[in-house]
Every structure is written in C-alpha cells, then in structure tokens.
Amino acid sequence: MPKATWMRATVLLLLIGAIIGVGFSFAVYETSEKTADANFCGSCHTMKPFVSAFEIHVHGGDNRFGFQAECNDCHLPHDGLAHYFFVKVKSSTNDIWVETFDNTDKIDWRKKIKDGNRFVYDSGCLSCHADLENKTLSNPRAFLPHRLYFSKTTTKTCADCHANAGHKHLSEFIKE
C-alpha cells in the first residue's frame, strides 16, 4: 500500500497547506486592514497633526454621511495587489525605523507637504472617484477641469491641483 500512503500524505499536506495558506492570508488581510486607518497611523506621535487635520476634512468624516477614508486609500497605490503590498511594506519599514531610531523633529514637514504628489497615488484617488472619468458636460464642474487629465494631455497628478485634499489647513497643525 505505499501508493495509498503516498496519496494520503499528499492530500493531508495539501489540506494543511491550504489551512496555513488561508490562515496566513487572513492574517495578512486583517493586519493590513488594522494598520490602514487613522487610528493606527495616529498612534505614533509624529502623525498626530496629520490625523487632526484629516478629521476636519471631507475625507476624514466632515461630510453629510460621516464617511471616512482610510490613510491607505490615498497614500498607497491601488493599481495591483503586489504594488500595494510592496509600497506598504517599504514605507512602513521606513516609518518604524525613523520613528524608533531617528529624530523625527528634524523632518521639515512644511517642505514635504509642498511636494504632496510624492505621497498620494492617483490610483488611490481613482479607486473611489471611479466615476469621474465618465462625467459629461451635464456636470461641467466634474467634466471641464478633468478632461485634460483623462485625455492624458497633461502630466499633472491629482495632488498637484487638489493640494489640500485629505488634510484641511494642514500647515496650521504642524506649526512648532
């Protein structure tokens, strides 16, 4: 009966593998969800002003529905799972390292927020504002300013024009 043993072992291994795999995926998913929002990001002292400015913005819940975006919705790329996790791991490694071993007071946030499009991904914006591309002249305020963007005749990114989207009066909060 070596054949049956071999079969049984294979099936058993596959089952165990599947359970481990599902468990691992579940853990990854849960972790990435739990580490995606302002509650988590704001648990580091450095991020407090950003969370405060976020909470008074439309994206942070100051809207009719109380809907709140998560940090990762804008600050991670949404053009594929691999890219998403790559940037997530990369930037979180950087953040943990700098927060723990470096002096975060040295960071010139005022200079950085002028360069906002480095930290905001258009694919993130568009995964929620997915309908923007389909707008027509019947909604001129959505159609007219964005037609160059969608016809790819400009290299501007979302954050180039919507510099304050996400964090209202941000530089007021990072005053020393």
Partner 1 sequence: MRKAAGLVSVFFLVILGSVSLHMAMAADSNPAAVEKPAGAPAQPAPSSHYLRYPNIAFKQKMTLAKGTGITKQAAQCIACHSQKTPEIVNDWSKSVMAHAGVSCFDCHTVSKDSPMANQKCPGVAGTDIYVSSLVSSATCEKCHPNEVKAFRQSGHARAAIQAVSQPLNQALLAHEDMNMPEFKDAVFMTGCAQCHGSQIKMDADQMPEAGSWPVHGIGTIYPDATVGNCTACHLNHQFSIAQARKPSACGTCHLGPDHPDIEIYKQSVHGMLFEARGAKWHWNSPPGGWQPMADYSAPTCATCHMSGINGLQPTHNVDLRLKWNLWAPVSNQRTGGFDTAAETFMKTGKLTAGNPLAGNPQGPEAARKDMLQVCAACHSTEFGQNYLGMADKQIGLFNKYAHAASEMIATLQKKNLMMKDPWADPAFRTYYYMWHHEGRRMRQGAAMEGPDYSHWHGVFELQQSLRILQAIYNQRIKTGKIDYNQTGGVGVGE
User: What residue ranges bind partner 1 (CB under 8 A)?
Assistant: 138-142, 144-145, 148, 153-154, 156, 161, 163-164, 168-172
- What does 47-113 look like in DSSP terms, one character per residue? GHHHHHHHHTSGGGT-STT-----HHHHHS--S-HHHHHHHHHHHHHHHHHHHHHS-GGG--HHHHH
Q: Minimum distance from CB of 144 to partner 1 (Å)?
A: 6
**Nearer Cβ to partner 1 (88/168):** 168
Separation of alpha carbons 92 and 1, rounded Å: 52
For 138, half-sphere exposure in the C-beta direction (CA atoms, 13 angstrom radius) is 2
**Nearer Cβ to partner 1 (119/143):** 143
**Nearer Cβ to partner 1 (93/154):** 154
Q: Minimum distance from CB of 131 to partner 1 (Å)?
A: 13
Q: Minimum distance from CB of 62 to partner 1 (Å)?
A: 9
